[in-house]
Structures are given as structure tokens and as C-alpha cells.
Structure 1
Amino acid sequence: MKVEVPYSKTHWNIEIPDKNLVGVLESNASNFVTDLTQEEIVSRALDNPIGSKKLEELVIGKKNMVIITSDHTRPVPSHVTLPIMLERIRKVNPEIDIKILIATGYHRPTTKEELIFKCGKKVAENEQFVMHFSKQTDTLTKVGILPSGGELWLNKLAMETELLIAEGFIEPHFFAGFSGGRKSVLPGVAGAKTVLANHCSKFIASDNARTGILQNNPIHEDMLYAADKANLAFILNVVIDSEKKVINAFAGDRVLAHEEGCKFVTSLAKVDKVEADIAISTNGGYPLDQNIYQAVKGMTAAEATCKEGGVIIMIAACNDGHGGQSFYDNMAQASGPLEVLKKVLKIPADETIPDQWEFQILARILSKYTVIMVTDLCDPNMIKAMHMEHAHTFEEALNRAFDLKGKDAKIAVVPDGVSVIVK
């Protein structure tokens, strides 16, 4: 069987022997049919906000506002959404001062080239963009204490504006349950200290901090608190398919609109696990598969369907390298994943170190599975140093997996690991 999988900005066709294949676990998002254009879908959501006044009503009488938008690591189609929102805002309030705050969270700043790719040339070159820097304390203000006990530090611009809104997209998230909604604030525009406290080892280890789970998820509860303290007044969250096209949108109240969006995503993304000896996954292609750090997300989908002791084949370009120095160092400097887990579980919440959550989850996976990273755009030595195997091609990886698990091994394919909820 041939299966098309995303890789960077292109696709690969991989072949799986029919006798070995036990399942292709795919979101139904690619099969979701609508007669509406992307622009019409977004406009419909803005015309029918959930639990909120319309955006146009909220901006009347305001002198300034901030729109939080995602950074380069998220495939939010801002070239579709932002022009529509900006036009609606200025139609009722032409003089309002609008600043667009890039929610970098704990990531590096977004480049101008990435901004143009994400937002479109017109918006990127004509609007006021402000980059969030989580470690620049003079740009942050303390606004409270999280339910977890950590200090809540948020971007001053977001806190001081008359109206704060956010755009984003909703997909399954490997420890926050779902992306979107409240995540624009925490970790999006939160201080480094706050992000670290929210991503502590105790929370990451919680059985409720998993893909598709919001109820009793301690990470989600912190995020809700942060969005409330920031007075996030309105959200526009889209749902996209494998081609990064908008197939649905939800606007309105930061909690209610997000919850409706999560229900819709669940209806498309939930797939039944199969018992596999070898699980193949991707990180959905560009921009999510640019580094090893992000690729851990796609691995968790394979983890959910692979038998313990099995092999995970992870197809991700990782052209941007490891994605976090602390992430790399803590994996590479350890003798193995068990040493990493032993160390991380002893770290108190208020002493969480950068990228801890990511190497904790990677170590969890590596303690139970052999991971073969497939890429021809990343240094193999970097991958090997992080206790994974490397293959330049899928065929090479599959042959290695057969060597480990036998020629009769059962294989499951997750063409887009970040788009599914495997149960």
C-alpha cells in the first residue's frame, strides 16, 4: 500500500507491505466537505460569535487594541484570517491603533520572511507587529499566582491595551489537550518563569495531561486562569485540514468558542488505536516539522498505538536542528532516557528548566520504544546523540525496523501525527 505523508513543504509516498499493515490512522479533516471558501468560513464565524458580542461591537469606542497571533511554529493561516478581522475592525473604528503581538511563548523570534509567509506580504509590511520575548522582564508584568502556585507574568502590551483579542487554530495537543483559545496567552505571551512553572514535571507526568483531554488537565487549568487574568475578550480559532486550509472556524468567548471548536476537532480527529509493532508518524510537514523539539508531538501519536518495546518511525525534516539547546543538552548529556526521567521527576515546579517538558516526554517515549528519525535535512549525529536512530530514507528506516521486530511485524501508519487523537 502507498501512503502519502507530509515532509517539510512537500510530500513523500511511502510503501507498506500489505501483509504487515494493520491500520492507517487519519483524521477525517481531509474528508470534511464544505461549499464555502476559507474567507466565507471565517466570516460566518465572525458573524455568529459564541457567547460573545460581535468583534465590531467590541471595538467601538476603543482607542487601541492588541491582536495576539501565533508565531512561525504554528500553521495558523493568518493570510486568510487577519485581513478579514482588520477590515471589520477598521470599518467601525478607522482610527483605532492596532498592534499585532506575536505569541512566541518560549520560542525564538519570528523572522520577517516567516512573517510574510504566515500573514501575507501586505499585512506583514503594513501593520504594527510586536514580538513577545518571554525573558525580557522589562516587557512583562506580574498579574497573579497560577492555580499551580507559579507566578503569572504576562506581556505588558497585552495587559495595558483597551481590548485584547486572539487568533489561532485548534488541533490536538500532546499535553494541553488541544491548542488554541487560552494558549494564546499562556504560553503565548507569558513570561519564561510562568511557562516553566506551567510545564513542570508533575503536570507533564499527569495522565490527564494528554492529547484530547481538557477535564482535570492541570496544564489547561493554569492556561484558563491566565486568559482570564489577561481579560482575553474575543478569539477567532480555525480548524485546518492536511493542506492547511480552513475547514471550520469558531469565534467569540475565549472558553465557550474554544470548547465548541474542540468538540468539532474531536469529531474528526478521534481514531481507534490498533496493536502495532511498528508505528509510523509525521509532524504534519512545514511548519511543524522544522525541528526535533516539535517532532516529539507526532511521536506521541505513534506512542499511543505502538506496543511497548516496539519501533516508532518518525518522518520529520528537522531542518532547523534540535529546536532548543536545553532540550538537546539534557538528552545528549545523559547516558540514556531512564537517567533523564529519573532526573526530571525530582525537579520542583518552581525550578523547572527550559525545554524540560519536551525532553521529559521524549525520554518517556524512548524508555519504551526504539525511535528511528527519518530526515535528509538534519545532522544524523545530532539525532544519535539524543538516543534515537537515524535514517536518510523511509525505506532504510523500515528495513531497520524489520530487523528489530521481524518481517511479520504489524505496522500502523499515522500520516499526520499532530492531527489525531488516538484512543
Structure 2
Amino acid sequence: MVKISLNYGTKKMVAEIPEKNYSGTLEVNEPQGVKDPAADILQCLRNPIDYQPLDRLIKNEDNIAIIVDDHTRPAPTKIILPPILEELKRSGISKNNVNIIFGCGTHRKVKEQEAKNLLGENIAEEIQWTNHDCEAEDLVYLGTTSRGTRVELNPLVVKADLKILTGDICYHFFAGYGGGRKSIMPGVASKETVTKNHCMLTHPKSEIGVLEGNPIHEDMVEGAKLAKPDIIVNVVQNTRKEIIKTFCGDLESAFYEGVRFLDSVYRVKSDKADIVIVSAGGYPKDINLYQAYKAIHNALPVVKNNGAIIFVAECREHTGHEVFQEWMEKYSTAEEMKKQLVENFVMGAHKAYYLAKALQKAKIYMITEIPPKKLEKVYKIIPVKSIEEALEDTFNTMKKDPKIKVIPHGSAILPC
């Protein structure tokens, strides 16, 4: 037997696979984390890509807006912020002139304790921070993109003299990649702006790992440029959540360099298998099904048609989006959902569409905290208590000796 260990929330889930069925674990030869992340970030701030160093951009009385990721993202904000704040202080900026804005997009607000965990207690107590509200009445209209997206943004960002975007560069299943421009759009944009941008997800180029010709990405860049951000501070992390490289500088140049680096490590070739066992990678990547779905999406190129995916995701906040649930209850096929999305895009419905498409290719089993009846009735996913239970069922319904592939970090690796 081959023993495997997968992240489940903040814990580990261990299982055994018959050796004759085991077809390997999809892993990468990823770098170790940098020894001194703060020093690495500081060095990048002083030597940015295609941009001036941060200290040359600042005037003493400037108001600074720093956009950070919310609780649904794994960005190491508490590590990224101190070097930035150090540079601001060195340049004569008072902490009273700094606003930290959680780029929640259309997600719920970050709770106070979550903010302390994300920012670090000292920063959370000493620096002003706020949640972006996508439905606030004081959002500022900056213009309309060439694709017809009205760009309405958080006033604290628009009015700031200096805008700093932070986050991590990772794979995103319809924007191509996270990071860079996403801090602005959807991060601090209106619900209307985000909805119009995301409605292009049925376009064939709106796909994970694709930027060229991807209308969502290109629209995001165009919208973000209207805000005139000054500098991005983005990192790439390994699957142990360690920073392996930092990218600071111009909105596009630094982001694209980070994308190239990410691909050099995490875009991997894989043969197909009858059964794929995949973990979202643990908390916060498996905070809810709405977020954890990315791992299923990344496993689809590996699983054979009519195969099975065994999904390990705690989902302590269960499914994570009301519209996601409503559409799974209302529509029975991906084709029905696609038609409705094209005619009238609704945030949250896109996840239902993607899941419905995934279910057309493979049977999905899941180990999770989502109530079993709800998981099966609403989401058409088979609830199981263990990986072994799922394997027993698949072995009974599939051909003799099906091949099994394991993906421990489904949200981080892009099979091709």
C-alpha cells in the first residue's frame, strides 16, 4: 500500500492506496522559501521592475492606500506589509496618512479577528484599516473600458496620492492568474463593475493559465489602469506557504514577470488517470466550496472522461455563496446555466456553471464538513467519510485496476 497525506483545513488527512493502482503524485520541484522574506521584499521595493523605488514616489504629506487581500486568499499580508510600512516611515509618512483596504471584491467583510490574523495584531491596531464594500453609495466612477465595463472604485483608493497593491500571484480559473490588476478589479470595485467583467467567463479564452486573448484579464488591466496604481508588491509562494520570490514594480511588467516565474515552477505535464484524489491545499484555500472549487477545476485535465475525482476540502464555512446554491438547485445542466449567464450574468452563478461542467466529465466524491444531504441533493457531489470509502465505491463501478493519480495541492498546480 502507498500512504498519502493531504491537507484538510488546518489538519492532515492520511489514506492508503493499493500500490498496483497508484499512478503517482503530481508534485513539483518547488524552491525553498527565502531565508529573510522582509529583507527580500525591502530589496525589491528599492529596486522595482520598470518603476521608481518607493521612496522616490513619496511626498511627506501624501495619503497612502495599501490594498491587501481578504480572508479568502492565502497572501502572506502580515509579512508583506512591514517592509512597505518601514519604507513609508523612512520617507517621512505618518501612520495616520496610511489606509489599508481589504480588497473584498464581492466577498463578505473581513471580521475584526480575521483582520488581526491577516495584518498582524500590531499593524491592525496601529494603522487604519477598512473593508471594501462593493455596494457602497460613495463609489467613484472613473470611466468605461473598451468592453463596456463601467469602472467604479473605492473612494479611499481613488483619492489616495499613492496606491500600493499587494497580493500573491497564483492560478485563477477564469482570469488566468491572480495578483496584479485583481487588487483593483475586482478587489475594490463595485458589484456592477465586477459583474460586467466576470460575465465574459464563458469566452473560450477565459481560462486558467491564459492571459493572451483572455477578455476578463484584459478588461481587468484596462480598468485597473484607470485607477493609476503606483506600484505592486506581489509574491509567489510555495505549497508550504513560504515566499519564494517577490515582484515589485509596474502594474503590468512586475505582474507578467511573476506569471512567467510561477509557470516555470507550477505548470506541469501529467498523464491521465481513472481516479484523481485532490486536496485544495488546506485552509484558507478550502474555507468553503465556492473557493475550494478551483482544485476540482485544476484536476479536470488529469481525470479521464467518466472517471472519478475524490475531493478533500474541509469547507468550514460550507458552500460560501447563496447564488451558487440557488443555481445548483434551479438548473440541472451546464448548458442551461451557460444560456442564462450569457443573457444575465449573476455573481456566484459562474461557480455553479463550472461545477455542472465538471460533473459532466467525472463523478465527484468529497470529504468535507458540508452536511452530506445538502452536498448530495444540491451539489450532486457524493459525500464520503474517507478516501478509502470513495475508493471502494469507485473500484466497484469502474473497470478492473483503475489508475489513481494524487494531487496534494490542487489549487497551486496547473496540470497540462
**TM-score, normalised on structure 1?**
0.94
Question: Which residue identity lines up with residue 345 of structure 1 in the other structure?
Answer: K
Counterpart position of 2:129:
129
Equivalence for 2:247: 250
Aligned to 2:307: 310
In 1, are the aligned partners of 2:337 and 2:353 still within 8 Å (CA)? Answer: no
Tell me which amino acid in the other structure corresponds to 2:10. K
Does the 8 Å contact 2:152/2:189 carry over to 1?
A: yes
CA–CA distance in 2 between the matches of 1:176 and 1:115? 26
One-letter amino acid of the structure 2 residue matched with residue 417 of structure 1: G
Q: Which of 363, 386, 392 is equivalent to 1:370?
A: 363
Q: Does 1:415 align with 2:414?
A: no
Contact 1:283–1:294 under 8 Å retained in 2: no
Classify 1:234/1:247 alpha carbon distance in 2 versus 1 (closer, same or farther; 3 Å): same
* Structure 2: distance between partners of 1:219 and 1:98: 31
Measured in 2, the distance between the counterparts of 1:409 and 1:228 equals 50
2:69 aligned residue: 70
**Counterpart amino acid of residue 222 in structure 1:** D
How much does 1:283 deviate? 1.3
- State the match for 1:93 in structure 2: 92
Aligned to 2:140: 141
Structure 2 length normalisation: TM-score? 0.95
2:373 maps to which of 381, 403, 407: 381
Partner residue, 1:395: 388
- Whether 1:23 and 2:24 are equivalent positions in the alignment is yes
Alignment partner, residue 218 of structure 1:
215
Cα distance between partner residues in 2 of 1:162 and 1:122: 25
CA positional deviation for 1:76: 1.0
User: Does the CA contact (< 8 Å) of 1:51 and 1:252 recur in 2?
Assistant: yes
1:89-119 superposed Cα distances (whole Å, 9 cap, x missing partner): 1111233600001000111101111112211
Structure 1 alignment gaps of length 5 or more = none
- 1:282-301 superposed Cα distances (whole Å, 9 cap, x missing partner): 21111110111112100011
Provide the rounded CA distance (Å) in 2 between the counterparts of 1:210 and 1:348. Answer: 16
Q: Hey, what's the Cα distance between the residues in 1 that align with 2:410 and 2:399?
A: 24
Counterpart AA for 1:158: V
Contact 2:341-2:349 at 8 Å conserved across structures: no
Contact 2:78 2:119 in 1 (8 A): yes
Match among 404, 412, 423 for residue 397 of structure 2 = 404
Equivalent residue for 2:102?
Answer: 102
Equivalent-residue separation in structure 1 for 2:174 and 2:10 (angstroms)? 26
Q: Which amino acid aligns with 1:19?
A: K
Report how far residue 61 of structure 1 moved: 4.0
Distance 1:134 1:28, change over 3 A: farther
1:164 matched to which residue of 2?
163
Structure-2 residue corresponding to 1:114: 114
Of 148-157 and 118-127, more deviation after overlay is shown by: 148-157
Q: Residue 68 of structure 1 contacts residue 102 of structure 1 at CA under 8 Å; is this kept in 2?
A: yes
CA drift at 1:62: 4.4
AA at the equivalent of 2:168: F
How many angstroms does 1:328 deviate by?
A: 0.7
Among candidates 310, 322, 325, match of residue 322 of structure 2:
325
User: How far apart, CA to CA, are the structure 1 residues paired with 2:348 and 2:147?
Assistant: 18
Task: Kindly tell me the number of residue pairs found equivalent between the two proteins.
Answer: 413
> Is the Cα–Cα contact under 8 Å of residues 332 and 387 in structure 1 kept in the other structure?
no
Q: 1:207/1:412 Cα in 2 relative to 1: closer, same or farther (>3 Å)? A: farther
Task: Describe how 1:174-193 pairs up with structure 2 within 5 A.
Answer: 174-193=173-192
Distance 2:354 2:82 in 1: 37
